[in-house]
Chains A and B, each alone.
Chain A
């Protein structure tokens, strides 16, 4: 059985959702899975990991890596790899991963196959050319690093169990840490980040007039979603251009794309067809959007959506 190392990310004191997905992926691949957790919150996270089906958890609490820095993390991961000799190193494809995993790849001269959306026999599926095509990537080396795109695996599929953890001693020299960071801070986003939104409610010309736009926002609020729009709504000035989806707007592939009153012209569809679940509501049974929708709701959105909002509110209260 091969060894797999999963590098777990700390999300303000608890395990990052994408690390859970990474573990689910590792479990699917199958092997002796060791989790690695680094930093000031490592013990708390190790605790969460104790009820997951793993071989072991390694905890690194060295002061030079109490908070994230790329030099320290790179060296820690390298030393852990050299110690347990995994065939595969698995991690969620987060901004932090992008920041330091390539360093590990170069330091150990092993391939890093990033942002994977699917597993095949001995190969990995990765999107290329602005997600217009998929590719099949394989490793030519015995040891490889894989990062999984959000929702490639599901945190819910993580198998529970019981595992132990232990401290891992690393050898770090202060001179090897060449960066210093200030505290992270939040800035109110001037624009909405549609590309990383999980749930999107999108509005098309079928909304009929500007006065009806709040319906979309209410639905979005109930669902915890962002609001976007197709071109005609933006051109009419009913919503600002940063909410536009399509060939001249943003490209999204959220878990849910709820399209209301959108006809499905190709210029719009290219910006959202990768969405995992598409529910489209349109009066016109021949609307092109129905060709790419998972659920085609033929009806008047102005009747359906308000009622839907009420039903969802009731459901949430239950």
Chain B
């Protein structure tokens, strides 16, 4: 009898031996009862281990995919560095075009002294911009530089709380909050994860390079809440184009902010280059939560409006389901029959559609309504 082949029994069992080796082991096994028994036991152990099924808690897999869905969208803030660059550049271009135009209008106005305006603009351009580590020039300093010029009203505007500055900043903030993660195609998903911090830093660099005025607080407005955009939009709409040197960025802000929808994002098609307003609205709605019944109802109606405004496509299907989901949430929070009845009607209407793509999810929602 040949020497034992203990070391080769595993690879033999796993089919990892070459034909010649396999034949040799097989021949040995026909003669060696010890090795044959050992192989037998190894196979039995493998079978026993395979027979131990993993049992997760009841219902665990029912919502695994839906729980995952939120997480697939949430971390997007780390994966959108290229778009932030693009948006920052777009914002800079807007500024580069609008600022000279506005200045020209200001200079040609008969009642306004052009020279002081230019003089006022020069020191501003040379003043270092604010960074995260260096505070903006204080307001008294700014007042000195701008005194007796038409820029003063704009400075007052800038003192307003929660102010957003540029469309690029808006987009960066939106991206940083993860709202652009959901349905962005291929390259986004393929992007290697990167830290969240670089995006606003890059934006600041763009602002430093392209913006001619001081105190451009990219770091501050990058973190501004959505409502600040709406406030700023209202302000900028009332600003005459020739009023001051800040009207150009104000116009840019106005474009970025005009038509802010229920989710605090823009409805204007000019909002962010490359990102249709519908997409932004959709993502804003995805990002909204509801902690009260009123919130949930508001969200439900916002989704309903969205679904009606975009009757076809995957977003509309998701929106219709979200109507039901928010409705169910409203019922869960309020326990009012009206909420439940409406959610059931919405669900029934959805399931009756020939293009209902998420019937199973809706049925689960329906079941949650009846189970209480």
Chains A and B form a bound pair: no
